[in-house]
Structure 1
């Protein structure tokens, strides 16, 4: 019998259609059924992942256990919601999407002009004051907000005033910041931020222009929101005495990256690195023969700090062959080769209609995985002759 082929499936979510776990299960099922009866001796392990967005604390809890602690905070529209953070000894893991995520809103409620990060500040306070956390890791993907982290800072005790001296909650109106009522215990806490983007706060690649539309901002609002963010950044940086808006990642989660770094001294780290460290992913990849990854759309962002970028880096480091599965692939052969991706299998190759492919994502992903299984025989044969 041929030597066992160890296959590891490490997927992100297929946004709008499949969770990371559902996507991994589809690929495993398709590969298993497609290779059945063809003399391929393999073991397939799935490892659903996240990169700082939805599913982050689930991945960490699976590997490190810990206790989920629920607390009542505000959702993006300041309605009450019960949201969990994960506590492992004196380290707390917060998933911003649980309190400020698009997943908490109906599509007709998307409006980054109204949504707030206040609930994130409440989560941080709960972890510090309720659980005595000394280290806090925050995954900031999947947010519904674009307030520069102002809501979060208000929950932590910062106060913002307009030119008349009245307290304001709007980034475009602030002229003065007062930090005298900030929670003193913040000084004793170390913050790490897991983020999958490296955008600055302002400009064409900034929080508003790049991510505002997917959070519900119409074309007519973008310039106004950008001007408001510019005012917010100017006043904040005058208060802080240092410029943070140009730092890679400052634009993450609608500017929450900016606030966490500038006001709380947080360290910004690619989400995949954080998850890899706390889930023992690199060792699992090292012990596997074929690595499979995937997400809904593979594009330039995928190989610039997101999960797939991290998987390619670890796979290259350990000389592992890498395949990718997706809804649609927007990279050319040169980009795929440079990233170390040997093969790509896309749902769009068999169903080009986006709405149909998303509605039938499970069926189509299983199908392309089934068809890709024919390459496993060649993979195993080449491995035996190496």
Structure 2
């Protein structure tokens, strides 16, 4: 039998690797001759570069311009012609000096510098993960770093940030990095918001980046103006494409000018980790995370794993610390059977202190289910 383990960490208790080791121990007690394959997974949030590095990509260190213009160290993952870049590394809220928000002037320039570096190093497929950005500049800074000139009516290059886009008069694409013509881009984004309006980048995400109600109005109008000029020049309309509003409108620039295709972070991560290949010929998949709850259903790791396994016709089982979902919800998510650690003990506190043993015990229970279903299926086919 071939069993694939693709579990996330149990936050605050066990790392993903520790969960996998404990599951393996339990499975081996019941199915000693089984082939057990572990795939390190995490959801696409801030974990995209981590997942790539865990899959054998190498880290590239670059000095770039941070969101407020200071020089910072940022890294991305590279393997052959594929680069995995996280916007947060160069233009994220974490990169703000003393966490001081700069909603009107924060720039995505550094993200463009990471892309430039990747292209120069030979990357031709770029995965851009866009969670955690500090910017609302519709990716204008990124475009400037890639050689696009954005000037005001005096012919002066615009300073960084979304507010300055209100002064934009002319977009010059002649010096855009020529390597982009041979490159393809995937935008790893979980939000499907448009660029502007009631569900737009400024309105929905601006306040988390320090924007006051007045700032939000200013930014929304500036993004609208930028979109008018860019779309007029390109002869296309992308502002309402799902994901255009991701990361302060970074999605818009990536979709409109760089031909980016938006995909959910979890799908991108699972592809990076090679889960699809691992699922070929598998008899079962075991996934899990600390808490299986409503939020999990919105595209956290176990659900992403479950969807991919379903597409390959492989049954999915789960182990979690606790779950607030009922049997019906779990089955609806494609999970055949779930074991929560708190159900294996009298005192819930034990689920934290004895988590190693309990995960292994849960794996033994699941192994019995897997064997029973496997035997039934085999009998059914003969």
State the TM-score, normalized to the length of structure 1.
0.75
Q: Verify: 1:208 aligned to 2:202, yes or no.
A: yes
- With 140-149 and 115-124 compared, the bigger mean Cα shift is at 140-149
- With 172-181 and 215-224 compared, the bigger mean Cα shift is at 215-224
Residue number in structure 1 paired with 2:61: 70
Note the C-alpha offset of 1:180: 4.7
Distance (whole Å) between structure 2 residues aligned to residue 110 and residue 330 of structure 1: 36
Unpaired segments ≥5 residues, structure 1: 351-356
| Corresponding residue to 2:131 among 141, 144, 168 | 141
The question of whether the paired residues in 2 share the 8 Å contact of 1:51 and 1:195 is answered with no
Distance (whole Å) between structure 1 residues aligned to residue 133 and residue 152 of structure 2: 26
Q: Verify: 1:182 aligned to 2:175, yes or no.
A: yes
Q: Verify: 1:292 aligned to 2:315, yes or no.
A: no
Q: Verify: 1:120 aligned to 2:111, yes or no.
A: yes
Equivalent residue runs for 1:86-125 within 5 Å: 86-105=77-96, 108-125=99-116
Distance (whole Å) between structure 1 residues aligned to residue 215 and residue 263 of structure 2: 31
Q: Verify: 1:259 aligned to 2:249, yes or no.
A: no
Distance (whole Å) between structure 2 residues aligned to residue 230 and residue 364 of structure 1: 55
SS of 1:178 mapped into structure 2: strand
- With 106-115 and 36-45 compared, the bigger mean Cα shift is at 36-45
Q: Deviations over 1:21-50 (max 9, x none)?
A: x541353466578x5998575776543334
Q: 1:265 to 1:299 in 2, by over 3 A?
A: same
Note the C-alpha offset of 1:185: 1.5
Q: 1:43 to 1:191 in 2, by over 3 A?
A: same
Note the C-alpha offset of 1:136: 2.8
Note the C-alpha offset of 1:155: 1.4
- RMSD after superposition: 4.2
| Corresponding residue to 1:246 among 240, 244, 255 | 240
Residue number in structure 1 paired with 2:46: 54
The question of whether the paired residues in 1 share the 8 Å contact of 2:108 and 2:141 is answered with yes
Q: 1:181 to 1:318 in 2, by over 3 A?
A: closer
Unpaired segments ≥5 residues, structure 2: 377-382
State the TM-score, normalized to the length of structure 2.
0.75
Larger Rg: 2
Note the C-alpha offset of 1:123: 1.2
Equivalent residue runs for 1:1-386 within 5 Å: 6-11=3-8, 23-28=15-20, 31=23, 35=26, 41=32, 45-50=37-42, 52-63=44-55, 65-105=56-96, 108-129=99-120, 131-162=121-152, 166=156, 167-172=158-163, 173-180=166-173, 182-200=175-193, 201-217=195-211, 221-286=215-280, 287=282, 289-294=284-289, 298-299=293-294, 303=297, 307-324=301-318, 335-343=329-337, 369=359, 372-373=362-363, 375-376=365-366, 378-380=368-370, 382-383=372-373, 385-386=375-376
Note the C-alpha offset of 1:120: 0.8
Q: 1:380 to 1:158 in 2, by over 3 A?
A: closer
Q: Deviations over 1:307-355 (max 9, x none)?
A: 54532221112333334567886767655433313456779999xxxxx
Q: Deviations over 1:161-214 (max 9, x none)?
A: 446665343434233232155334244332212413241323444333444454
Distance (whole Å) between structure 2 residues aligned to residue 121 and residue 261 of structure 1: 14
Note the C-alpha offset of 1:259: 0.4
SS of 2:335 mapped into structure 1: coil
